[in-house]
Amino acid sequence: MLFPGSVIDLTIEKPAAGGRMIARHDGLVVLVHAAIPGERVRAVVERTGQGVAYATTMDVVEASPDRRTGIGDWACGGNVYAHIAYARQLELKAQVIADALSRIGRVTLECPVRVTASPEEGYRMRARFHVRGRTLGYFREGTHGMCDPAITKQLLPDTCRLVSELSDRVGDGGFDGVTEIELSENVPASERALHLELNRPSIPQGLDELAKLPTVVGVSASFGARGQGGQAPTRRTVIAGGTPCVLDVLDLPVPGSVAAEGDAGVAPVQVRLQHHAQAFFQANRYLLATLAGRVVSLVPAGPVVDLYAGVGLFAASLAASGWTSVVAVEGDRAGAADLRANASPFGPALNPIEMAVEWYLAAHPVPAGSTIVVDPPRTGMSKDASAAIAAQQAERVVYVSCDVATFARDARKLIDAGYALAHLEAFDLFPNTAHVEAVAVFARA
């Protein structure tokens, strides 16, 4: 019987989703942090429950040749793979995808998933910093303990200097009531926008001064009551200074686009995208254009419905690449506002709709022969959305997923509805973390 505080010797077997590794102790599954498959480690048990124990490596008895040293705090900001050599990280992420599809989706892959690599440092364009008391930083894994974002090396040096300035102002008491700060920057890091979440009924004086910091183009803030006991929230969002949107102009590598057909010498497709500090946007500056271009290349000519469209990364990329009938649906207010702005250059070729995906599908049948593009949140498609998509007459579903478990669940639903998994690859948008982005094509069987 294991108890919190027990110290046990383990041989690590394989990776689990979420960053831990799987081992066994007297038949009990143990999920272990800071280990690598093949290693022998001594670990301390954190907790137990539902037939599983959770532990963290204390000592490495027999190290993997893929173990890296001098990586700082592995638990800071989801940096749970940082102790693993990068090539091995990609292998483990491919295994995690295959395992989830096998266990949850009942799909056996014939070959390993190809994972496109990313530079490990300075890749991150979006980040959320927590403010606790007079400290600003990331949470350490599984806790509310704080750590310095700079040690993860996910941010560019100039971004770290801005975060240090914000941290100094938090330490000086200048951010009373602020609980979180979201930062968004463009690919060249020439523009940065901030959004602050407050737990007070009004914004403090001086937030407009943040818009005067180098490269900061604007600051917004949300404040007011969050709603309790069934009461509706009374929160407001205001612009405290500048315009809290950054602008990117991407050159997309889309050799199979409609615009490129019959013209081998066509220039790369260019797409203009604004994104607000509050709006969801893919976070990896090095793989952003590659991911968008790859999704476009997987969509055949014909009508397209882009669900969970965000600011329009895929929808605008399709329209810029020559698609003439694209509908983009986004329910989040900030994302939908950016979507409308990003769709405006394309006229009737790109129709932006601010509406929950479930509501849209209930009222608008997808034309037969269409392609549906979905990029849902980590929770995957809702039950109503997946049922509605399964009932459509779309020929193809291009699914972009940031969570392997919900992707595997939704894959099973699509397969049961008559689709076949025709293509699968992945992109390492968050090096040194346990996250991986899967891109799949489901075609009518």
- For the chain (445 residues), the mean pLDDT of every run of 10, in chain order, is 92 96 95 97 94 95 95 88 97 98 96 97 96 91 90 96 93 86 97 94 85 95 72 79 95 65 62 95 96 95 96 97 96 96 97 96 91 95 91 93 96 95 97 97 93
Count of residues making up the chain: 445
269 and 106 Cβ atoms separated by less than 8 Å: no
In the chain, DSSP finds a helix count (H) and a strand count (E) of 8, 23
Q: Give pairs for 90-96: CB < 8 Å, separation 24+.
A: 90/115, 90/117, 90/428, 92/15, 92/37, 93/15, 93/426, 93/428, 93/434, 93/436, 94/426, 95/14, 95/15, 96/15, 96/16, 96/17, 96/404, 96/434, 96/436
Check residue 257 and give its pLDDT: 55
CA atoms within 13 A on the CB side of 232: 2
Domains of the chain: 1-67 (2.40.50.140), 126-243 (2.40.50.1070), 247-444 (3.40.50.150)
- The closest alpha carbon to 435, from 75, 139, 96, belongs to 96
98 contact partners, CB below 8 Å, separation of at least 6: 109, 112, 113
The CA distance from 293 to 254, in Å, is 5
Residue whose entry in the numeric block shows the structure tokens 């009737």: 348
**Contact in structure between 67 and 58 (CB atoms under 8 Å):** no
Other C-beta atoms closer than 10 Å to the C-beta of 86 total 17
- Which residues share a beta bridge with 42? 9, 59
Quick one: which of 339, 316, 314 has its CA closest to 397?
A: 314
Residue 320: strand, helix, or coil? helix
Q: How far apart are CA 3 and CA 421, in angstroms?
A: 43
Nearest to 327 by CA among 299, 291, 294, 298: 299
Q: Are 372 and 389 in contact (CB under 8 A)?
A: yes
Decide: helix, strand or coil at residue 390.
helix
Q: Which residues contact 407 (CB under 8 A, 6 or more apart)?
A: 97, 100, 101, 105, 380, 399, 401, 438, 440
pTM value?
0.93
Q: How do residues 33-71 score in pLDDT, each as one tens digit?
A: 999 999 999 999 999 988 899 999 999 999 999 999 888
What angle (nearest 5°) sits at the alpha carbon of residue 226, between those of residues 169 and 385? Answer: 115
Given a contact cutoff of 8 angstroms between Cβ atoms, the answer to whether 138 and 150 are in contact is no
Residue 86 pairs in a beta bridge with none
What Å distances lie between residue 225 and 132, 171, 201, 203, 278, CA to CA?
19, 25, 7, 12, 18
HSE-CB for 52 with a 13 A CA cutoff: 9
